[in-house]
Amino acid sequence: MQDRNHKSSRRKYIILLSIAVVLLGGYLGIRYFLASGAVEKRLTSELQNLVSKGSRGLYHLEIGKLKVDPDNINVSLYNLKLKYDTTVYQQMVENKTAPEHLFDISLEKVVFERITPASFITDKRIILTTVQIFKGSLSADRLLHDFHRKIPAKDTTVITDTSAAALDLYALLSNDVKEIRIDTILATGLDLVYHAAGKKERKTELKNLDFLLEDLEINEFSGADSTRFLYSKSMAVRLKDFTLPFSDNQYNLSLDTMNLMISGGETFTDIRNLNLISPLGETEFTNRNKSQLERFDLRFPYVVLKNFSYQQLLSEGILQADSAGIKDAKIRIFKDRSQPADGKSKVGQYPHQLLKKADMLVRIPLLSFTNTSVEYREKSEVTLETGAVSFTRINATVSNIYNSEEDIVIHPTMVLRARALFMGAATVDATFRFFNNKTGGRFEVDGDFGAFDATIINKASVPLGLVEIKSGRVNDLSFRLRGNNYSASTSVHLVYD
């Protein structure tokens, strides 16, 4: 019996040893295979074929160097470039199968972590934990042709292209790749250039972008998943230190950071320190323009947008969001009345009229301001002194911000409701109504002030009108103003001591 047990145990040891030898040999074989130059050449060829076939010959992939790390099972691509073939594109245009966008991509380094090259080569499945992209540029040109049609999808951040050219991405790849699944895609230091051709050409340049995509799936089901954006369950984009000079370098539009989050079919945007500031001081600004042109200084520390449609802004020039919120804003305006008038007509210069004249389509149902301050300063042409009127602690909402005729039919009146402190002392409630559906610039304003010491007005009345109030108290002040391009009428109710 003991001899039989001994033989049985020895047999088990031999079997286990044999399995260990096979596993070790397999591991060493795989390691040798991964470390060899053959797998790198094969992977490079497969990736290039995939891009060429998937784009029907439109794009070509160039890889400066491909390196496999057998210890960590990582694949790194260096100096990766995606270029389009202009000859093929022209043929697609003639056949009415050209895509709406053309891309030119150049990346310094791309790392695929925990990849198994054999699974891609043999099974045509790409399953990864992480893809990291380090520095590069992405240029996109939107070239519309008559055969392109666009239908807005339910998610306003997405435009569904129903042209023959815009086939489902999976349909393009399915002959060569069964499935692509990536847990995380992280990119840092990317520059984006977006050029939209059309009646009004638009070019947008963004520098030093970071973005994160999570739970990306490209298969036969993911394209119809309404909870995904760019085939991902969630997406985050971060823009840092953006500055754009404009208006003949009289102003700089800048922001410290902009964070975009897309998840569950909704888009949230957080902007910090969005500023519109002139690099010119008040005197320098006035001397350059030699007129009574207002100088603005706008500072918005916190801006939040819900469901802001970036794609429509870039491609169509449409400013659209479900809502916008601004907190702790500071708005300063300066005007020098001692300078010559600009001679321009003031007709058509009310806020709702300027909105209708804007180059872009605007669709924002609700805009809110929290703890905002507004200061208007004016230099008198008589006294050459500067007076100021200020409103602080402003909490306000603006509803129905639209400028297209079809939207105005549904939302005819833009309404601003605000509560604030006048000159840091008197509470004021005001309602402004701007009638977009009426010609002639019609508007209405109703305002009510709480009690205040009348001497607070001296900050404006003395330098601007040489009028000083020695003492007095306003117990109640309300007014009603009705106006248009050519006339205005007002009624005032004043109770004072």
Q: What are the structure tokens assigned to 82, written together?
A: 């995606």
- The pTM (predicted TM-score) of the whole model is 0.74
- Our CA dihedral for 237, 243, 247, 248, rounded to 10 degrees, sits at -140
Residue 436: predicted pLDDT: 87
Residue 365: predicted pLDDT: 95
174 — pLDDT class (breaks 50, 70, 90): low
Residues 302-319, mean pLDDT to the nearest whole number: 82
12 — pLDDT class (breaks 50, 70, 90): low
419 — pLDDT class (breaks 50, 70, 90): very high
What is the tens place of the pLDDT at every residue in 348-370?
Answer: 888 888 888 887 889 999 999 99
Residue 431: predicted pLDDT: 96
278 — pLDDT class (breaks 50, 70, 90): very high
Q: Over 70: is that where the pLDDT of 212 sits?
A: yes
Residues 45-73, mean pLDDT to the nearest whole number: 84
445 — pLDDT class (breaks 50, 70, 90): very high
463 — pLDDT class (breaks 50, 70, 90): confident
Residue 422: predicted pLDDT: 92
152 — pLDDT class (breaks 50, 70, 90): very low
Residue 151: predicted pLDDT: 43
Residue 415: predicted pLDDT: 95
Q: Which residue has the higher pLDDT, 168 or 274?
A: 274
Q: Are 78 and 67 in contact (CB under 8 A)?
A: yes
Q: Which residue has the higher pLDDT, 165 or 74?
A: 74
Helix axes 2-35 and 37-54, enclosed angle (nearest 10):
60
Candidates 155, 360, 188, 369; CA nearest to 267 is 155
Residue 8: predicted pLDDT: 58
What is the tens place of the pLDDT at every residue in 226-239?
Answer: 777 777 888 888 88
Residue 154: predicted pLDDT: 38
Choose the weakest-confidence range: 191-195, 315-319, 360-364, 410-414: 315-319
Q: Over 90: is that where the pLDDT of 481 sits?
A: yes
Choose the weakest-confidence range: 31-40, 266-275, 309-318, 331-340: 31-40
Q: Which residue has the higher pLDDT, 347 or 175?
A: 347
Choose the weakest-confidence range: 44-48, 255-259, 297-301, 472-476: 44-48
Residue 161: predicted pLDDT: 38
Tracing tokens 């998943």 back to the chain, one arrives at: 225
420 — pLDDT class (breaks 50, 70, 90): very high
d(CA 473, CA 467): 16
Please provide the average confidence, as pLDDT, over all residues in the chain.
81
169 — pLDDT class (breaks 50, 70, 90): low
What is the tens place of the pLDDT at every residue in 72-120?
Answer: 778 899 999 999 999 999 998 888 888 877 889 999 999 988 776 556 6
Residue 159: predicted pLDDT: 37
d(CA 497, CA 348): 40
Q: Are 152 and 159 in contact (CB under 8 A)?
A: yes
Residue 226: predicted pLDDT: 72
Residue 168: predicted pLDDT: 52
Residue 26: predicted pLDDT: 46
Looking from the CA of 408 toward its CB, the CA atoms found within 13 Å total 17
Q: Over 70: is that where the pLDDT of 155 sits?
A: no
Percent of the chain with pLDDT over 90: 32
Residue 355: predicted pLDDT: 85
Tell me phi and psi for residue 11, to 5 degrees.
Answer: -65, -40
Q: Which residue has the higher pLDDT, 241 or 325?
A: 325
Q: Over 50: is that where the pLDDT of 160 sits?
A: no
